[in-house]
């Protein structure tokens, strides 16, 4: 499954998640159709509301008896175009976007002044439509508010059956432990909005959370990538406190990074870490982040799948894909949520929000795609191990089998290639795969009891383990199935 972590397309990845043997496959959520047409505005009445007598600018209303109008009556002034004819009232001029809607045609008169038809101007498709919608909402809101105030004023002396709450009631509301509001209130003070800027001024926004009392913050690698090599990094807490920070270590393959606050405060409260292995499909989830720069946003959902093989990338030419056996959630996750915590119902971190599955086109008003209910988080058990390694040595440590596999989405397994990267041997001499008897052309179909359908799936599953772990490999050679045991080796760094 290919995903994107900041709105960019990425290389192909596995089509299906690995599932335990003899276990039913997890149901997959279907993505909604993208770019649904915007609903048209309802037709605007052609006649303005009637007032006492005949309306200025309109033909005189025939007398009920059918007699002709009094000839001494002054002739009507020049006709004013009926409300709703011509261009939308308040439509944005070309190039002004939605903000043009607030200007409208109201420069000359106050509320209720006669409307003068503006000179026709070209509109920029959606910009004009949005402007019209905004003005329609403003007009409807103003009219409704005025009528409501008048009715309330007229009926004020008739008595009321409503009961007003006391002024202090808001502060007396108690939200029970385990409620979303309670979890959010406790977790928000330990999350930060991260701004990363490169030396040439480019950058972006992401999220992180407090890992320990020493000032370490855990986030995604792609969140801090712009600040590497001399860039600027800041972290802002919900209370407005802002700190400069530096990158302690980053792991591109895991898409995990650790930064440290400069001069951290003494009252830091690390978020409690949960156990991602014990998460079940259907468990409630709470995500905190800064989607599209909107800091301290809380969204909710459930775990919709586990062990989802995901390959993601930030889309840059120098970027290598990250692989994970992810927790899938339908909590709304968008660009800017990256690096933020995915919490369970008790407020413990079970994952790091990292990637989304999105439609091919960007969302309205943005070049980036948004949430369609398929978000992916790095399991916290894996992220915790990676973060500890980064704090300890500044470099990531990856488990490996010592063999190169094809990254094509074959759906038949992970095939060991005939040749490795840069002309090296496909099976590392003396490495774990070599010692276990694996050879080029072998197709790995299972790792322990997890089904392997492609190279990226195998990589993501291997990286859920630690160097030194013993695993059972099932593979196919010449149409025959074989099983072997191997001890995972270690690779240090992203090279």
Point out the residues that are catalytic: 222, 255, 338
Give the β-pairing of 349-356 and 341-343. Answer: antiparallel
CA 423, chain centre distance (Å): 39
Give the β-pairing of 397-400 and 489-492. Answer: antiparallel
Look up residue 77 and give its two tokens: 């002034």
387: part of which helix (H) or strand (E)?
A: helix 380-393
Query: Can you tell me which residue has the tokens 């048209």?
Result: 40
Contact call for residues 143 and 112 (beta carbons, < 8 A):
no
CA distance 329 to 326: 9
Number of Cα atoms under 13 Å in the Cβ half of residue 439: 5
CA distance 426 to 404: 5
Computed on alpha carbons and rounded to an integer, the radius of gyration of the chain in Å comes to 31
DSSP, res 430: T
DSSP, res 423: G
Neighbours of 247 (CB within 10 A): 21
Strand partners, 485: 472
CA distance 132 to 216: 48
Give, in degrees to the nearest 5, the angle at Cα 39 between 372 and 138: 105
CA distance 351 to 274: 9
Q: How many helices (H) and strands (E) does the chain have?
A: 7, 19
CA distance 421 to 430: 17
CA distance 389 to 488: 17
CA distance 221 to 5: 11
CA distance 229 to 317: 17
């Amino acid at each position: 499954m290919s995903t994107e972590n900041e709105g960019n397309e990425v290389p192909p990845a596995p089509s299906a998640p690995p599932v335990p043997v003899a276990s039913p496959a997890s149901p997959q959520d279907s993505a909604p159709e993208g770019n649904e047409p915007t609903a048209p505005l309802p037709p605007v009445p052609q006649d303005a509301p009637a007032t006492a007598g005949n309306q200025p600018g309109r033909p005189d209303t025939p007398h009920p008896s059918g007699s002709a109008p009094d000839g001494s009556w002054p002739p009507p002034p020049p006709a004013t175009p009926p409300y709703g004819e011509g261009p939308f009232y308040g439509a944005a001029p070309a190039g002004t976007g939605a903000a043009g809607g607030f200007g409208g045609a109201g420069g000359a008169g106050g509320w209720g002044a006669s409307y003068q038809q503006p000179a026709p101007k070209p509109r920029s498709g959606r910009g004009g439509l949005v402007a019209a919608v905004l003005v329609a909402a403003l007009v409807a809101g103003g009219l409704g508010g005025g009528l409501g105030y008048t009715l309330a004023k007229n009926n004020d002396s008739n008595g009321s059956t409503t009961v007003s709450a006391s002024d202090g009631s808001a502060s007396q509301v108690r939200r029970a432990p385990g409620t979303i509001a309670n979890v959010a209130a406790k977790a928000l003070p330990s999350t930060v909005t991260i701004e990363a800027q490169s030396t040439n001024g480019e950058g972006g926004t992401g999220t992180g959370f407090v890992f320990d009392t020493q000032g370490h913050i855990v986030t995604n690698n792609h969140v801090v990538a712009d600040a590497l090599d001399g860039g600027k990094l800041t972290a802002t807490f919900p209370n407005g406190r802002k700190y400069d920070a530096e990158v302690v270590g980053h792991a591109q393959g895991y898409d995990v990074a650790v930064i440290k606050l400069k001069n951290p405060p003494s009252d830091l409260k690390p978020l409690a870490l949960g156990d991602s292995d014990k998460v079940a499909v259907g468990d409630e989830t709470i995500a905190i982040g800064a989607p599209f720069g909107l800091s301290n946003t809380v969204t909710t959902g459930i775990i919709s799948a586990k062990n989802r093989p995901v390959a993601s990338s930030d889309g840059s030419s120098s970027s290598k894909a990250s692989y994970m056996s992810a927790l899938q959630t339908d909590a709304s996750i968008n660009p800017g949520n990256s690096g933020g915590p995915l919490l369970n119902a008790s407020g413990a971190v079970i994952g790091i929000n990292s990637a989304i599955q999105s439609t091919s086109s960007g969302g309205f008003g943005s070049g980036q795609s948004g949430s369609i209910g398929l978000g992916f988080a790095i399991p916290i058990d894996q992220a915790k191990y990676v973060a500890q390694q980064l704090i300890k040595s500044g470099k990531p440590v990856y488990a490996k089998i010592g063999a190169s596999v094809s990254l094509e989405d074959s759906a038949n397994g992970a095939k060991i290639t005939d040749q490795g990267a840069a002309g090296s041997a496909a099976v590392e001499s003396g490495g774990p795969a070599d010692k276990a008897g694996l050879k080029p052309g072998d197709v790995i179909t299972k790792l322990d009891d997890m089904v392997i359908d492609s190279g990226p799936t195998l990589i993501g599953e291997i990286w859920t383990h630690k160097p030194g772990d013993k695993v059972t490999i099932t593979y196919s050679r010449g149409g025959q199935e074989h099983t072997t045991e191997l001890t995972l080796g270690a690779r240090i760094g992203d090279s």
